[in-house]
Structure 1
Amino acid sequence: MTIKAILIDDERKALAILKNKLERFCPNVSIIAETQSPREALTLIQELKPDLIFLDVAMPEMSGFDVLSQIENPNFEIIFATAFDNYAIEAIKHCAIGYLVKPVDNSDLVETVNKAIQNIEEKNALAKNKLLIENLGIQTFQNKKIVIPSNEGLEFVQISDIIHFQGDNGYTNIHFINRKPILSSHSIGYFCKILENQSFYLIHKSHFINLSHIEKYLNEGFVILTNNHKLPISRNRRQDFLNNLKK
C-alpha cells in the first residue's frame, strides 16, 4: 500500500531530515509535496488530498493546530512533529493521533508510520481529528474527551464520565458513571500514559482511578468510588497517594 504524504514544517532543515528518513526507512510513503508555509499547506491539502500529513506543531505564522482547525473535513491521518511540548503531546495522545518528538528517532518514525497506515485502512481519521479540534477549545481537563480503542472500533468518551480503569490480562475494563463498562483492547499501561500527570492515579497495578470519583478513603488501604467499588491501594503507593489527594 502506497501512502501519499505532505510534509509541513517551517524549518527547511527539519523538512530535509524528515524527507531523507522517510525515503530511507518508509519506502511505502510517497511524498507528494512539502512546504514551509502553513497557508500554502492548506491549499496543497485541498488540491492533492493526501492520505497522511506530517505537521509541525510550533510554527510562527500558524501552529499545526491552527492549520488543522481551518480544514473543513480533515479526513487524513496526521503525524504531528514537536519538540517536547507537554500540552501538545497531551492533546494529541488523548485523540489517538500519531506524533514524533524532535529530533526524530528512526525506529519511532517507522513505528508511527506503520500505525498511521493501519489507521488509514480503518478510515477513522476524520472523527479523531475533529475530536482534537473540539478538545483544544475546552479548558477544563475533565470536560475533554479521549479515544478508547476497543475490539469493535473507537469509543469517544468524556473524561469526567470515567470512574476507573481495571487491568485484565493485557486488556482494560473501563467503568463509567452513566453506562455499562467497556473492554478496551489496550492495556492499563496505555491509559496511564495518555492520562499521566492528570487527575488520575494508579493505586494498584490493576487499578487506575479518576480522583474526582473518590467517595471515601479507608485507613486500612482502600478507596470507595462513586460506583461503590471498593479498590485496594498498594502498600508502597499509599503515602504518595495521600500526598496527591492533599494537592
Structure 2
Amino acid sequence: MRALIVDDEALARGKLLRMLEAFPDVEVIAEAADGATALMLAAQLRPDVIFLDVQMPEIDGFDVAASLPDDAPALVFVTAFDQYALRAFDAQAIDYLLKPVEPERLARTVQRLREPVRGAARPSAGMPAHLMIADRGQTYVVHCAEIEWLEAADNYVNIHLPGRSLLMRRTLAALLNDLAPAFVRTHRGAAVALAAVLAVRPRGKGDATVVLRSGVEVPCSRQHRETLMQRLRH
C-alpha cells in the first residue's frame, strides 16, 4: 500500500511517517507540504492512499480532495479538529484521524485501507472554495466563485473563467457533484454557474441559449431548460 502524506507542518509529517513504519505493508512514497505539490505527486506517483491534513494555508484539504481526478486514491483526513468529520465522510474518506494520532487508532485505519470500497461515486461535501488545476505544466489555483461555465471534453472539463479557460482531468458529472448547488447542467456537455447567468434566450423546438454576464453564450437543450429555470427562480 503506497501512501502520500500531506501536511503543512514538517513535525506532523515526520510523526505520521514514523508511525506508519510499524505496518510492513504500508510504504510512504512521498510527502507534501501544500496542496499544489500534493496534486503533482498524486498524478506522478499514483499512491493508493493520501493522508491529508484539513487545515493548510490558502488551500485546505477539502479543496485538494475536490481537485483530485475521479480515480483518486483513498483519502484519510488527519486533523486536530473534530468539526470537519461530517464533511470528510461526505467526501467518502476512508477514515478521519484526530491529532495527536494514537497507534491503536491508526492500526484500525490501516485495516480499513486493506479492503477499501472502490468504484463508488464521491458524493458532494459542499462546494470547495478553490480548485487546483494542473494545465500545460503549471498548477493554477482557481476560486470556484469565479468559474462562469463548464464544458465537457471526453474525460476532461474545460473550466471557463473570465478571459481564460483551463483543462481539468475530471468528468463533468463528477465535477458538478462537487460544485453543487451553485452550478446547473444546461446541456449534455455544458453547465453554468447560476450566479453568472444574465438571461435565457428561447430558441426553436424548446432549446435555449444561456447568456452569461460576460457576454458568453452557452447552449441549453430542452431536456435541461426547465431545471435551469426552476433553479434560477430559487
Q: 1:212 aligns with which of 177, 192, 195?
A: 195
Q: Deviations over 1:34-93 (max 9, x none)?
A: xxxxxxxxxxxxxxxxxx8757xxxxxxxx74xx469xxx9xx972289983x4467xx6
Change (3 A) 1:193 1:84: farther
Question: What TM-score do the two structures reach when normalised by structure 1?
Answer: 0.48
Distance 1:110 1:166 in 2: 24
Match of 2:168 in 1: 184
Report whether the alignment pairs 1:100 with 2:94.
Answer: yes
1:163 alignment partner, one of 142, 148, 152: 148
Shift of 1:239: 1.4
Equivalent residue, structure 2, for 1:234: 221
RMSD: 4.4
Q: Which structure 2 residues correspond to residues 47-196 of structure 1 after superposition, within 5 A? A: 54=51, 65=54, 68=55, 79-80=76-77, 85=86, 87-88=87-88, 99-100=93-94, 106-108=115-117, 144-177=129-162, 179-196=163-180
* Shift in Å, 1:229: 2.2
**Matched residues in 2 for 1:235 and 1:4: separation?**
45
Larger fraction in helix: 1
| Map of 2:209 onto structure 1 | 222
Which residue matches 1:115? none
Deviation at 1:107, TM superposition (A): 3.5
Is the Cα contact below 8 Å between 1:146 and 1:157 reproduced in 2?
Answer: yes
Q: Could you say if the C-alpha distance between residues 153 and 242 of structure 1 is closer, same or farther in structure 2, counting changes exceeding 3 Å?
A: same
Please report the TM-score for the alignment, with normalisation by the length of structure 2: 0.50
Q: Structure 1: 5+ residue runs without aligned partners? A: 6-22, 31-51, 56-63, 112-140
Alignment-mate amino acid for residue 220 of structure 2 = I
2:3/2:51 contact within 8 Å kept: no
Q: Which amino acid aligns with 1:219?
A: P
In the alignment, which of 7, 25, 28 is matched to residue 26 of structure 2? 28
Q: Which amino acid aligns with 2:130?
A: K
CA distance in 1, matches of 2:195, 2:159: 15
Aligned counterparts of 1:54 and 1:194: Cα–Cα separation in 2: 20
Amino acid at match of 2:139: L
Cα distance 1:169–1:155, how it changes in 2: closer, same or farther (>3 A)?
same
Q: Report the AA paired with residue 158 of structure 2.
A: N
The answer to whether the Cα contact below 8 Å between 1:151 and 1:184 also exists between their aligned partners in 2 is no
Name the CA shift for 1:79/1:153 in 2 (closer, same or farther; >3 Å): farther
> Contact 1:151–1:185 at 8 Å: present in 2 too?
no
Count of aligned pairs: 156
Q: Are the structure 2 counterparts of residues 193 and 226 from structure 1 closer, same or farther at C-alpha, using a change threshold of 3 Å?
A: same
Residues of 2 paired with 1:2 and 1:84: CA distance?
24
Distance 2:56 2:51 in 1: 15
